[in-house]
Each structure stands twice: as structure tokens, then as C-alpha cells.
Homo-oligomer: A and B are copies of this chain.
Amino acid sequence: MAVGHPLRRTPLWTVLRGLNLIESDLLDSMKNQVEQSLHNLIQEQLEMGSGEVAELCSEILLAGGKRFRPLLILLAYGTCGGRDFDEIMPLACAFELIHTATLVHDDIYDGADQRRGVATIHKKAGLAKGVIAGDWLFTMGFGLGGRYSEEIVEIMSKCCADIAVAEFQQFDHINDLATTPDDYFQIVEGKTAGPFAAGCKAAALIAGCDAQQAEKMYEFGLQLGIAFQLVDDLLDLYGDDRLGKPRGVDVYEGKMTLPIIHALTLLHGEKRDQLSEILSDFGDEKFTQLIDLLTHSKSIQYAKILASTYLERSEFALNDFEQSEYKELMLGIAELVNSRNS
């Protein structure tokens, strides 16, 4: 099988394009408000004399990014009946700041030179300033979180602690061919889906929802987040120039993605040995062989079906919320992702 790009032009990958494919004035306006709020926050800090640390952070923070997390938070708030967007914006920005903090620190130990198309902070200013800049972003995020109740700060804090625990687990499973689907889901729930879920739940509580509704929002975020990661795993096998996503980064790093874990579980004998060999000494010339093996074990197909299942579950979690333009947009994301047309 030739290495093509079966996901391109399918809705599965649009979720990764920051909702750009959904035409909505409301969404555009929300994204602009997020950008403006982040910009203002940095500006205030610069005026207060934060100097270089704020400048370096702003280069990464304001260099674009999908703003997936803050947009989800705003939509969840709207779906829950919240209408005073000034009330929820600090939370949306807090999650984006903390997300960016983890990226700044990830890039350090991953040795990444670029992020969002600009030089990483540690590359530009050295290890020390990279570490401290990440800490500064965490601090800014938690500072915004402090505007809310103890319950909200606890959700944020638990979410960040879970990210750290999941990152530890992920390291321990690098190049670990015995990684189980259970390990995988634990890591994904901690690192990717947890923050989606925490953001949606906190937004629901701030909008005045009761505990049960907030739990539904948590569920939505969690299921969507897992689907998001599964799509990300699939994209790693094909890359995407338009997303600026090179092919095979995870495979080179020895990260155990679901298609690979699935194939390692299902393949036996010679084919299992082949896969094991490919993974232990990967190179670009082995890509076709890898995709052939993952196709043979139906692992790519399996990951696609799984992503659909999680997206359906996320839609289901919104059942009890009243219709609104916000809910339409939340469902639109899941629906668009789910209605795979290729």
C-alpha cells in the first residue's frame, strides 16, 4: 500500500485545524475575543515591568495556536446558559496559558527547536530562561484561576497534577512494546482528555449548572479529548503539511500510539517480529512497511472506529442540554469529526 493521506479532506482531521472549517460568525468572534484577551494580559504584564520573560512567552503564546481549549470552554459556558462572557474569559485564558506552559516545558526535554512556527524559548534564550518562562506561564494561569471559587481552582490543580503524572507514565512507556491499551488510555486521559474535561466542567459550574450537568460537560470533554488524541495518532502516520505536522514524529520518539499498540497486540509470528524490528530502529524508508503492517492488522481502521465511538459518546453527553447556537457548535465539532466520508 502506498503511503497516501487517507485523512486529508475527511472531517476527521478538521478537529485539528482549530475549527477553522466550521463557518460561524459566533466562533470567529469568540476566537478574536480569546486572542484579544491573551494579548491584553501580556500587555498588562509588560506595563507592570515583567520585561523579557513576558516578551519571550508572548512570542509563543500569541503565535497562533488552535485555541481549541479556550474555545471549548466558551462554548461549554454558553451551552450551559452562561451569557456574560467576561465572567468565563479568565478561565478560558487560564487553560490556554497552562497549556502553553506545558508546551514550553515539553519542548525543552523533547529538544524541539520550533513551536507554532517560531523558535522555542529555550532554543532562543537558553535552558534556564526556558524553564522559568514556563513557570511564569503556569503562574499567570493559576493567577487567573484564583478569580473563581475553591472548587474551580481544585479542578485546575487536579488537572495539572494529572498531566504531570501522565507525562511520567508516558516517559516510562517510551519504546515499551509491552504497553497495553489500558496504559495508553490512562496517559491520554491524564494528558489530553483530562484538561478538555476539566475545562468544560469548570465552565459549566461557573455558568451556574448543578453537579450532574457539570459532570455531563466533563464527560463531553473527556470523550472528545480521547477522540482528539486518536485522530492525532492517525495523523502522525500520515503527517499533514497544512497542519504543519510532520509525519512519524511519535514513531521516531518511540511514543506508543494506539494503532501501534493495537498492531503489537494482534500481530503474531513473523509479522510481529517485523513490526518490532521496524519500531526499534525506525527510519523514513520503513514507513511503507509500517503502514502495510498496521493495515494488515486492521489497526488504522480500528483507531478510526474507536475515534468515532468516542465522538458519539461526546455527542451523547450533551443530550440533556437545551438547544442553542453554542450547543450546535459543540455538536457540530463532534458531528463533523464523526461523519467520516472516506
Contacts and interface: CB of A to CB of B under 8 A. Distances in A.
Interface of A: 45, 49-53, 101-102, 105, 108-109, 126-129, 131-136, 138-140, 142-143, 145-147, 150, 152-154, 156-158, 160-161, 164-165, 167-169, 171-172
Contacts of A142: 138, 142, 145, 153, 156-157
Nearest to A152: B146
Contacts of A172: 52
A118 to B, nearest CB: 19
Nearest to A49: B165
A161 B45 contact: yes
B153 A128 contact: no
The A interface is mostly helix, strand or loop, or mixed, namely: helix
24 contacts: A45-B161, A50-B161, A51-B165, A51-B169, A52-B172, A101-B135, A109-B131, A129-B168, A133-B164, A135-B160, A136-B165, A138-B142, A139-B164, A142-B142, A142-B156, A143-B153, A143-B156, A143-B157, A143-B158, A145-B146, A145-B153, A146-B146, A146-B154, A146-B156
Contacts of A136: 160-161, 164-165
Contact of A157 (B134, B139, B168): B139
Contacts of A109: 126-128, 131
B164 A53 contact: yes
B138 A135 contact: yes
A152 B142 CA distance: 12
Contacts of A160: 135-136, 139
A164 B134 CA distance: 10
Contacts of A49: 165
Contacts of A132: 105, 164, 167-168
B150 A146 contact: yes
Nearest to A131: B105
B134 A168 contact: no
A77 B1 CA distance: 71
B161 A129 contact: no
Contacts of A161: 45, 50, 136, 139-140, 143
A146 B140 contact: no
A131 B154 contact: no
Given A153-B153, A157-B142, A52 B135 contact: no
Contacts of A128: 109, 167, 171
A305 B101 CA distance: 42
Given A128-B109, A143-B157, A168 B52 contact: yes
A165 B156 CA distance: 24
